[in-house]
Structure 1
Amino acid sequence: MSVSRQKKVYIPTTARKNQYITVGFPLTEAILAAFPDAPSCYEALSQIVFKLADEHELINVHVIANDKLPVVRYHSESYCFPTSEQLRIFYNPAYHEARQLHTTPDFTARKFRVVFLATGGDIRVNSAAFHAKVQHFVEQLKPLLPVQNVPIKVRDHQHLSYDFFAKAKGNKETYGYKLRAIDSRYHARECNLPDNHSALCYVTISMPVNRQILSQFKAAQDADYGNLYQSISQAFIDAAQSKQLSRVAMVANGLTPLVRNSKYEKLQTTAESQMIGFDPNAEAPAPITHWDSSKLVDSIKFAIVASKSDVTDEGYGRFMNQVEEALQSFTSSLNLDRERVDMILRFHQHISYSK
């Protein structure tokens, strides 16, 4: 394989691109007390946000004032629904607009979070321009807040998602992505990031647990699924390590896996979320597995995190090719019906910094 080809990964042209940016700050007592005559502090702050967002042509905006975690995904229809811990937002960036305030009656939020969803055409090409708009928004928001010097956290989330078995379903056309780090892409488009920003790159895979899987491991009638999960976990870890991918995790307990940089963030598993912590600088960390042997899940979630050496313009393409080769080996060992199974792979690039 040529060097230039190694730097690219060939992804189905049906892949979905997504980007959203969150801007958040703590709701201190001083901020809450600054709006005694307003219907609520949240409504007053949201009106400031919506007016400023309109000025910057940010047209899909959700204000979250109930401490729920935003989870954003593509969908042909626009809708969002809350769980006890999350706000799940589905939309098509080509068509959908929104400006919504999300609160919970009689609940005092600890954080005020604004979620900006990317809109328009090629999301990845226009990601720097979108981020620059949000940067300008933050700079103009600061003096409008009732308390000065409030620490504002900016998080930029970008995804490429596709069915790993798309080719078997007849979607054979691919596009060669020369994946680049976010800061490099942004710098080339004159959108500069603070030097102290942190970055994390990883892949998540969702594999449905169907009758074929159950019968293959003779687990259809079992009340204890530990052997099923152990066998699948070992097959996944072996396939990943054969391609020099050591930062891996598997979750099969019904919780939503959330990958975090353990060097900077405290990890706390909740009733809905399974926190998975990786330090990209750590050498050869042990695989992480979480499953509930008494519960048969609808799908098993996997994660593969890029190492420090992968987080370069040349490294991402190589990393993704290693991931695809490992998944080819892993899924072949399970003998999955590629024409009938959707195995969704999502490539994540995240950056965060404080303003």
Structure 2
Amino acid sequence: MSLSHQQKVYIPKDVRANQYITAEIKVTDALLAHYPDYKTCYQTLSRAIFSLGEQEELYNLHVITNDKLPVVRFHSEAYCFPTEEQIIFFYNPEYHEAQSLHSKDDYRARKIRIAFLATGDEIRSNSANFHIRVQTFLGKLLPQLPEKGLTIKIRDHQHLSYDLFAKAKGNKESYGYKLRSISDRYRARQCPIPEAHGSLCYVTVKLPLSRKLKQAMLPEHTDDFTPLYQKLEDAFVQAASAKQLKRIAMVANGLTPLVRNSKFDQVDGTDEVQMLGFDPNIEEQQFIRHWDGNKLVEMVSFTIAAGINDCKDGALGRYLNRVEDALRSMTSELALDKSRDELIVRFHQHISYQAPEQLTCE
């Protein structure tokens, strides 16, 4: 097999691409001093943001002033579900547009988050252009803010999602992706990002614990679910090890996994989120497990993070091929009907950086 072929991963043609960018502005006493109260501050800023968004052709904008974490997923209908800690946006980039302020009365936000959701089609191929428009937007927004010297943290989130069992359902058509890092793709499209940026790449898979699966792996009438989780863990670890995938996690505690670079970010959990910290720069085994044999959950989440070498010189395709091989090996031991059951693979790419004073793309 040629090296070029190995660097490609063949993904079902009905793959879904998502992209959203968040800009985080720290709320300071000096900023708030320009307004009579929090509500006036947030409403005034959101009106300016929505007006500027129209000018820059950014048509799905959300201003979040309640410190909730935005999570974005594809759906044929548009929904927004707030929880205590998160705001979950479901939308179809081809059809849905929005301008929304998400706030809480008499609440001082730590950050004002602006969430830019990509719209249109060909999301991945247009990702650099979308990033440029967001940078241009922020470059024009900063002079409009009443307080100067505010810092902005930019996070660009992209993922591809598809069913690993698509072929078993008759979806034979696929497209060969030669995956590249976001920074490489952006550089090729004349949108350089600062050298001092963070990046992270990983795959998540959520396995529903169906009645059939539980019956195959648990004795009847038991309140001890340890055998189920242990069998899944053993199969996962063995499959990942066989493909030299060293940064892995299994979560079965009902919390939402959130992946961070442990070298730079804190990885404390919350009531809703299970933080997973990986260091892509070290080669030692990194295995994180969070499950309780006394608690049965509906879904088990598996995460496989890429190392620094997996992201260089076209290696991402080989990385994702190894991940797919590991997942197929793991699921071959489970009671799954591939013609009916889904196993959605989400390939995530993130970058983050502190916005420079001049936000322009050459």
Q: TM-score, normalization: structure 2?
A: 0.96
Aligned to 1:25: 25
Do 1:211 and 1:220's aligned partners in 2 also have CA atoms closer than 8 Å?
no
What is the Cα deviation at residue 38 of structure 1? 8.6
State how 1:159-308 maps to structure 2 within 5 Å.
Answer: 159-308=159-308
Q: 1:340 to 1:82 in 2, by over 3 A?
A: same
Give me the whole-angstrom Cα distance separating, in 1, the residues matched to 2:71 and 2:230.
Answer: 29
Letter in 2 for 1:106: D
Residue 293 of structure 2 aligns to a residue whose secondary structure is coil
What is the Cα deviation at residue 221 of structure 1? 2.5
What root-mean-square deviation, in Å, do the aligned CA atoms of Structure 1 and Structure 2 show? 1.2
What is the Cα deviation at residue 220 of structure 1? 5.0
Letter in 1 for 2:229: Y
Q: Report whether the alignment pairs 1:323 with 2:320.
A: no
Give me the whole-angstrom Cα distance separating, in 1, the residues matched to 2:198 and 2:128.
Answer: 17
Worse overlay, 138-147 or 65-74: 138-147
Do 1:70 and 1:86's aligned partners in 2 also have CA atoms closer than 8 Å?
yes
Letter in 2 for 1:323: V
Deviations 1:163-205 (A, max 9, x none): 1111111111111011111111111111110110111000000
Aligned to 2:360: none
Give me the whole-angstrom Cα distance separating, in 2, the residues matched to 1:197 and 1:39.
Answer: 33
What is the Cα deviation at residue 335 of structure 1? 3.7
What is the Cα deviation at residue 235 of structure 1? 0.6
What is the Cα deviation at residue 106 of structure 1? 2.9
Letter in 2 for 1:72: V
Do 1:205 and 1:346's aligned partners in 2 also have CA atoms closer than 8 Å?
yes
Worse overlay, 228-237 or 64-73: 228-237
Residue 334 of structure 1 aligns to a residue whose secondary structure is coil
Residue 154 of structure 2 aligns to a residue whose secondary structure is strand
Q: Report whether the alignment pairs 1:90 with 2:90.
A: yes
What is the Cα deviation at residue 279 of structure 1? 0.5
Residue 88 of structure 1 aligns to a residue whose secondary structure is strand
Letter in 2 for 1:307: G
Aligned to 1:8: 8
Worse overlay, 7-16 or 284-293: 284-293
Letter in 2 for 1:282: I
Give me the whole-angstrom Cα distance separating, in 2, the residues matched to 1:113 and 1:97.
Answer: 18
Give me the whole-angstrom Cα distance separating, in 2, the residues matched to 1:129 and 1:268.
Answer: 34
Letter in 1 for 2:108: T
Give me the whole-angstrom Cα distance separating, in 1, the residues matched to 2:220 and 2:76.
Answer: 34
What is the Cα deviation at residue 211 of structure 1? 1.6
Do 2:278 and 2:286's aligned partners in 1 also have CA atoms closer than 8 Å?
no
What is the Cα deviation at residue 107 of structure 1? 2.2
Give me the whole-angstrom Cα distance separating, in 2, the residues matched to 1:10 and 1:321.
Answer: 8
Q: Report whether the alignment pairs 1:153 with 2:153.
A: yes
Give me the whole-angstrom Cα distance separating, in 2, the residues matched to 1:196 and 1:43.
Answer: 33
Aligned to 2:62: 62
Q: 1:349 to 1:220 in 2, by over 3 A?
A: farther
Do 1:179 and 1:313's aligned partners in 2 also have CA atoms closer than 8 Å?
no
Do 2:207 and 2:300's aligned partners in 1 also have CA atoms closer than 8 Å?
yes
What is the Cα deviation at residue 340 of structure 1? 2.0
What is the Cα deviation at residue 37 of structure 1? 7.4
What is the Cα deviation at residue 322 of structure 1? 0.2
Q: 1:211 to 1:38 in 2, by over 3 A?
A: closer
Aligned length: 355
Do 2:218 and 2:227's aligned partners in 1 also have CA atoms closer than 8 Å?
no
Aligned to 1:334: 334
Q: 1:58 to 1:220 in 2, by over 3 A?
A: farther
Q: Which runs of 5+ in 1 are unaligned?
A: none
Q: Which runs of 5+ in 2 are unaligned?
A: 356-362
Q: TM-score, normalization: structure 1?
A: 0.98
Aligned to 1:50: 50
Do 2:217 and 2:228's aligned partners in 1 also have CA atoms closer than 8 Å?
yes
What is the Cα deviation at residue 39 of structure 1? 5.2
What is the Cα deviation at residue 314 of structure 1? 1.2
Give me the whole-angstrom Cα distance separating, in 1, the residues matched to 2:221 and 2:314.
Answer: 48
Letter in 2 for 1:322: R
Percent identity of equivalent pairs: 56
Residue 165 of structure 2 aligns to a residue whose secondary structure is coil
Q: 1:104 to 1:37 in 2, by over 3 A?
A: closer
Give me the whole-angstrom Cα distance separating, in 2, the residues matched to 1:220 and 1:137.
Answer: 59
Letter in 1 for 2:198: S
Residue 62 of structure 2 aligns to a residue whose secondary structure is strand
What is the Cα deviation at residue 294 of structure 1? 1.8
Do 1:208 and 1:341's aligned partners in 2 also have CA atoms closer than 8 Å?
no
What is the Cα deviation at residue 21 of structure 1? 0.2
What is the Cα deviation at residue 267 of structure 1? 1.1
Letter in 2 for 1:92: N
Do 2:39 and 2:105's aligned partners in 1 also have CA atoms closer than 8 Å?
no
